[in-house]
Amino acid sequence: MPDHLVGDVHYAAREASYGWGMVPVTAQIGQTEFTTSLFRRGDTDVLQMKVPVQRAEGLGLGDRIAVTMQISGVSRR
């Protein structure tokens, strides 16, 4: 995640988290849109990516990807 977005994401996540720091998101990688969770692990934000998404987009361990995501349950202002 670009450094300039980290603060915004963490602020929105406080409002949307459903416990244990899990944040519901809708994400898109390539042509595949899916729902998943974003969570903190130490100093890193982790986006869970389901195996069917990996297969649909031909992704493997170590690949760099572009992700578009929206935190669910947070209204835009």
Binning the chain into helix, strand and coil, the percentages to the nearest 5 are 25, 30, 40
Give the domain 3-71 fold. Elongation Factor Tu (Ef-tu); domain 3 (2.40.30)
Structure-block tokens of residue 35: 């729902």
Considering only residues 17 and 8, tell me which one the structure prediction assigns the higher pLDDT. 8
| pTM: predicted TM-score of the whole model, two decimal places | 0.75
Please, which pLDDT band fits residue 75 given cuts at 50, 70 and 90? low
| Tally of CB atoms within 10 A around 24 | 17
pLDDT mean over 1-18: 75
* Amino acid 55: pLDDT: 96
Give CA torsion, residues 51, 34, 68, 58, to 10 deg.
Answer: 30
> What is the distance between the alpha carbons of residues 5 and 8, in angstroms, rounded to a whole number?
5
Asked whether residue 8 carries a pLDDT value surpassing 70, the answer given is yes
Domain positions in the chain: 3-71
Cite the beta strand spans of the chain per DSSP E.
Answer: 23-29, 32-41, 44-47, 68-71
pLDDT tens track for 27-71: 999 999 999 998 888 888 888 898 999 999 999 999 999 999 888
